[in-house]
Amino acid sequence: MLAHYLELNHKKKEVETELEELKKVFNNYFDMSVGKNAKGEMVLRDYKIQRQIRDTVKFKQEQTVQRLEELNLLELIQKKPDEGKIKSAIQLGLLHEEDLEGCKTVNSSKAIYVKYLPTR
């Protein structure tokens, strides 16, 4: 069982490496055809490939705490900015997006999906 486990684990690493290389090729294709950080889709015979973009927004801790203190919204501060409460305060109109200008960072992640589309 241990030998089999090691063999499978080695194969898994090889497969993951190959998948990462293919994802790079697919992402490069989409970067060139539809633009960086843009979603895209293509159908080729029985296969459909699509790229989705997910953005993650985080508040910069020091700047956000300082700004919330300046705005006297101390209930929105824990040891770090409470993103759920900040979003709620924005929705309720107690806080405006522009009040937190320069406090956010946006990270994008790319996801590749490949589906088999059987011939009809």
- Indicate the domain borders of the chain: 1-58+105-120, 61-102
What is the C-alpha to C-alpha distance for residues 12 and 7, in angstroms, rounded to an integer?
9
pLDDT higher than threshold 90 for residue 47: yes
CA distance 85 to 7: 48
Task: Determine what percent of the chain is predicted with pLDDT higher than 70.
Answer: 98
SS3 track for 83-108 = HHHHHHHHHHCCCCHHHHCCCEEEEE
- Mean residue pLDDT of the chain comes to 90
> Out of 3-7, 85-89, 96-100, which region has the weakest mean confidence (pLDDT)?
3-7
What is the average per-residue pLDDT within 43-62? Answer: 91
Look at residue 111 in the predicted model and tell me its pLDDT: 85
Q: Determine the pLDDT at residue 79.
A: 67
Q: Which two tokens stand for residue 80?
A: 């770090």
Average pLDDT, stretch 79-96?
A: 88
CB neighbourhood size of 97 (10 A): 8
Q: What are the two backbone dihedrals, phi and then psi, of residue 103, each rounded to the nearest 5 degrees? A: -100, -10
